[in-house]
Structure 1
């Protein structure tokens, strides 16, 4: 999906009823969304409960995480936001 992971925001704790359009309409408030992907289960075709949004720049992605974290609730679920892959690199530093 992303040509630049530092511009990609992970969105977790999504309810399966959340549509691309609803999520996009929320995310666009932080800045231009280049790509939005909600992965689906191959067998059931139901959303897997998370999404990835690629923003135009790393600064916009960082701003989106700060802006939305703890504040966005859809279908009684508070969404989780983070820069995609950031937790992996922090827990597995390269030597």
Structure 2
């Protein structure tokens, strides 16, 4: 499982997030998605921690907290939906 962290400043880097979340336990991985075309960070991240208990502590402490002049949105990440058939095309046969 991982944690979704939203409303991040575009200046945030992986080290910044690792430091903040390390206060609540061992951080296994931080992923900061970027736009494919521009390379610009997208304003959210995913953080994986060593245990679910540590994730729960981090979520409780950081959801709604102000960091880098932003109010963080922190919760359990939802599984990614399969969107391969979206995008306006339909697989109808006539």
Q: Does the alignment reach a TM-score above 0.5?
A: yes
Give the number of equivalent residue pairs: 80
Match of 2:24 in 1: 30
Please give the TM-score of this superposition, normalised by the length of structure 2: 0.78
Superposed CA RMSD = 1.6
Partner residue of 1:78? Answer: 71
User: Unaligned regions of 5+ residues in structure 1, if any?
Assistant: 89-95
Q: List per-residue Cα deviations over 1:23-55 (Å, max 9, x = no partner).
A: 111111110001100001111101111000001
Kindly indicate which of the two structures has a greater share of residues assigned to helix: 1
What is aligned with 1:49? Answer: 43
Whose Rg is larger? 2
What TM-score do the two structures reach when normalised by structure 1?
A: 0.77
Report runs of 4+ in structure 1 exceeding 6 Å deviation. Answer: none
